[in-house]
């Protein structure tokens, strides 16, 4: 056999590189539907794919526009599947005012049907793509729009945001050519705020997209998100392991108790709405469930602490919920002292 020449090595090199390039192709969720109808159908009705939508797609959904704007003024819609909607103008900036720059509430809140200010009047570039898109790269400007930082293969969290580019797998249907990452760290790429060892808070609530920070601060830190969630499903339908599957002692204590009989669930106390995305429902009720799980039974405990950083005061949560969050969103006419006095053996209360 002849020794390989420089030229043949070069040709092989090109072939290998070419192969790698085609392997790294994003093909979009529609390309997966044909063979994975179950995951695809669940995913289509979850929030992930709608995180960022082109105006032409978003306008097919019942999404209102900020006062004075028409669809012709919008390039992308941010969110609108779950809690709130924000809008991008034709230059790729997030809308924060009227078209002529006057004061306007430009964030729509789905649950309440109300509008809030968002960075009132600021020129606000869209630098959110790393958590809202698939195949994100931080250089350049998507669609050439100056307000957008970075580019992406597709808007929204598509299949390939979690499974990696699927071009090669789609062609071959070969299991080995697609990634399955079951780690909490995968989800933690986006379900995080700031450093992972702190839980930023603001206005009496934990801030939103901190599920990873919270989980790591909890007794569940060794669990992956997919220990509880089917990642393809909308959260309310995604729980594949109930609390009772692992906590049999507490579950049997709870069965037949006063609150179990009226339908209060484990998560109502252990995962109260201690975080806020759009609008708080009450003084101690935000609109996002916490993943801290631990409840402090001390009537005087404070859930938050303040730290000075570069002269600025920052608030963080300590890693448990207090009784006002765990109990008083339902027992609104009671106080923490009452809760602390009744909380002992609460699982079997009334039995």
- State the minimum distance, in angstroms, from the CB of residue 90 to ligand HEC: 17
Backbone angles phi, psi at 274, to 5 degrees: -90, -5
Nearest residue (CB) to ligand HEC, 267 versus 280: 267
Binder among 66, 75, 77, 84 for ligand HEC (CB under 6 A): 84
Binder among 61, 120, 123, 182 for ligand HEC (CB under 6 A): 182
CA distance 30 to 258: 48
| Residue 327 near ligand HEC by CB under 6 A | yes
Burial 141-179 (b: 16+ CB within 10 A, else e): bbeebebbbbbbbbbbbbbbbbbbbbbbbbeeeeeebbe
CA 78 to centroid of chain Cα atoms: 13
CA distance 283 to 303: 14
Contact 274, 205 (CB under 8 A): yes
- State the minimum distance, in angstroms, from the CB of residue 156 to ligand HEC: 8
Of 16-24, 57-65, 69-77, 220-228, which segment contacts ligand HEC by CB under 6 A? 220-228
Residue nearest to ligand HEC (CB): 47
| Residue 208 near ligand HEC by CB under 6 A | yes
Q: What are the CA-CA distances from residue 257 to residues 129, 301, 330, 350 (Å)?
A: 47, 26, 17, 5
Contact 306, 315 (CB under 8 A): yes
User: CA-based Rg of the chain, rounded to a whole angstrom?
Assistant: 24
- State the minimum distance, in angstroms, from the CB of residue 236 to ligand HEC: 4
Nearest residue (CB) to ligand HEC, 11 versus 44: 44
Residues 239-298 that bind ligand HEC (CB under 6 A): 239, 241, 243-247, 250-251, 254, 258-259, 262, 264, 266-271, 277, 288-289, 291, 293-295, 297
Residue 192: other Cβ atoms inside 10 A: 19
Residues 111-130 that bind ligand HEC (CB under 6 A): 128, 130
CA distance 173 to 24: 15
- State the minimum distance, in angstroms, from the CB of residue 60 to ligand HEC: 16
- In the stretch 131-170, what mask flags binding to ligand HEC with x, by CB under 6 A? xx------------------------x-xxxxx--x--xx
Nearest residue (CB) to ligand HEC, 58 versus 186: 186
């Amino acid at each position: 056999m002849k020794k390989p020449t420089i030229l043949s090595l070069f040709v092989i090199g090109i072939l290998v590189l070419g192969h790698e390039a085609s392997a790294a192709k994003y093909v979009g969720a529609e390309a997966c539907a044909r063979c994975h109808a179950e995951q695809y159908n669940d995913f289509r009705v979850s929030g992930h794919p709608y995180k960022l939508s082109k105006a032409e797609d978003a306008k097919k959904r019942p999404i209102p526009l900020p006062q004075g704007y028409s669809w012709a003024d919008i390039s992308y819609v941010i969110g609108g599947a779950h809690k709130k909607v924000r809008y991008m103008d034709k230059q790729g900036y997030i809308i924060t005012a009227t078209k002529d720059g006057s004061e306007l509430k430009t964030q729509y809140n789905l649950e309440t049907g109300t509008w809030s200010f968002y960075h009132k009047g600021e020129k606000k570039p869209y630098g959110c793509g790393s958590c809202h898109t698939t195949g994100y790269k931080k250089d350049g400007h998507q669609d050439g729009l100056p307000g957008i930082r970075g580019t992406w293969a597709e808007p929204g969290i598509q299949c390939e945001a979690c499974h990696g580019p699927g071009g090669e797998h789609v062609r071959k249907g070969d299991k080995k050519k697609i990634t399955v990452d079951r780690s909490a760290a995968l989800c933690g790429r986006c379900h995080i705020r700031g450093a992972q060892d702190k839980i930023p808070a603001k206005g009496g609530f934990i801030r939103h997209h901190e599920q990873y920070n919270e989980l790591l601060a909890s007794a569940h830190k060794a669990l992956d998100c997919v220990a509880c969630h089917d990642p393809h499903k909308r959260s309310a339908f995604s729980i594949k392991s109930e609390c009772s599957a692992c906590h049999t002692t507490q579950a049997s204590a709870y069965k037949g108790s006063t609150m179990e009989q009226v339908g209060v669930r484990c998560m109502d106390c252990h995962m109260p709405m201690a975080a806020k995305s759009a609008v708080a429902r009450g003084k101690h009720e935000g609109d996002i469930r916490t993943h801290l799980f631990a409840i402090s039974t001390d009537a005087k405990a404070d859930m938050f602490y303040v730290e000075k950083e570069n002269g600025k005061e920052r608030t963080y949560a300590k890693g448990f919920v207090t009784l006002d969050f765990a109990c008083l969103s339902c027992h609104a006419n009671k106080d923490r002292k009452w809760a602390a006095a009744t909380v002992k053996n609460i699982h079997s209360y009334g039995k």
